[in-house]
Amino acid sequence: MVDINEDSIASRREFLKQAGGTAALGAGAAAALPSAAQAAVSETETKPRYGMLIDLRRCTGCHACSVACKAEFDVPLGSTRSWVEYVEKGNYPTVSRSFLPRLCNQCTNPPCVPVCPVNATWKREEDGIVVIDPDVCIGCKYCIQACPYDARFLNPVTGAADKCDFCLHRVAQGLVPSCVNTCIADARIFGDLNDPESKISKMIASNPVTVLRQEMGTEPNVYYINADHSDPRQPGQRHEYIRVDTHRRNQERA
């Protein structure tokens, strides 16, 4: 059960405001088209495409997002749907530490979907969120191996693959994901990427953003501002000290 406090109510109001703006935009764009085209545009333009923007200029590495995620879903000990990496790099005395929150990227081209032999995972047409049906999943781990972001795990309680789904049960009620609602620094912005008037779209349009592992061609819908993507495995960075702590049971970064 979702505990609706004042922050949750404020988050819901912001979310519904954005959703309303999306509907108005779609209706206005369709008005000038012939009736046949109106139906097509109305169906596609008003469909949201949810995404998340994480502003690392504000993130303090407090792990409130990770704790909120575990509490929201009762994630078993040793498993994670969301986590925060610490990135330390440099050569003394020029050193730095930054944070890199991680979660499922809700990819536009998710490689986890086509490998599932029983179609237990799919991308929702109505909002772009990638979901898993634990009652259908057979626990073969194909999708876990296919994910280039190490965002999936085998839930030891259900025996099915598990991952972040943007708190779909909250989004369905007009609320933002638990990690967004809990972030003490307002470093996480959630919303409709198809709505140019949404806060997330405006932030992406006005700031340089990056995504994880762009070379994989998955087109992630989780964006970062001012993220340090340093990786000790990259050949060009071997001359510099780089340490990445994942704070997970599996310490090796994916």
Three-class DSSP labels, 58-100: CCCCCCHHHHHHHHHHCCCCCCCCCEEEEEEEEECCEEEEEEE
Token pair of 161 as six digits: 């693959």
Beta strands (DSSP E) in the chain are 50-55, 83-91, 94-102, 121-123, 130-132, 153-154, 161-162, 188-192, 209-210, 222-225, 242-245
Mean pLDDT, residues 228-254: 74
Mean pLDDT, residues 228-245: 76
The Cβ of residue 27 has, within 10 Å, a number of other Cβ atoms equal to 14
pLDDT tens digits for 131-178?
Answer: 999 999 999 999 999 999 999 999 999 999 999 999 999 999 999 999
pLDDT at position 91 is: 86
Question: Rounded to an integer, what distance in angstroms lies between the CA atom of residue 141 and that of residue 154?
Answer: 7
Tally the residues of the chain. 254
pLDDT at position 235 is: 62
Q: Assess whether pLDDT exceeds 90 at residue 85.
A: yes
Q: Assess whether pLDDT exceeds 50 at residue 20.
A: no
Contact between 68 and 178 under an 8 Å Cβ cutoff? The reply is yes
Tell me how far CA of residue 151 lies from CA of 2, 154, 254, in angstroms.
24, 11, 9
**82 closest CA partner among 96, 95, 100, 107:** 100
φ, ψ (nearest 5 deg) of residue 168: -55, -35
Domain ranges, ordered by start, for the chain: 48-245
Question: Rounded to an integer, what distance in angstroms lies between the CA atom of residue 75 and that of residue 232?
Answer: 29
Higher pLDDT pick, 228 / 107: 107
What is the radius of gyration, based on Cα positions, of the chain?
Answer: 19
pLDDT at position 98 is: 93
Q: Assess whether pLDDT exceeds 80 at residue 253.
A: no
Question: Rounded to an integer, what distance in angstroms lies between the CA atom of residue 130 and that of residue 81?
Answer: 13
- Supply the CATH classification number for the domain 48-245: 3.30.70.20
Question: Rounded to an integer, what distance in angstroms lies between the CA atom of residue 66 and that of residue 208?
Answer: 25
Higher pLDDT pick, 152 / 44: 152
Higher pLDDT pick, 127 / 18: 127
**210 closest CA partner among 186, 192, 229, 194:** 229
pLDDT tens digits for 113-137?
Answer: 999 999 999 999 999 999 999 999 9
pLDDT tens digits for 21-36?
Answer: 443 333 333 334 455 5
pLDDT at position 249 is: 72
pLDDT at position 210 is: 97
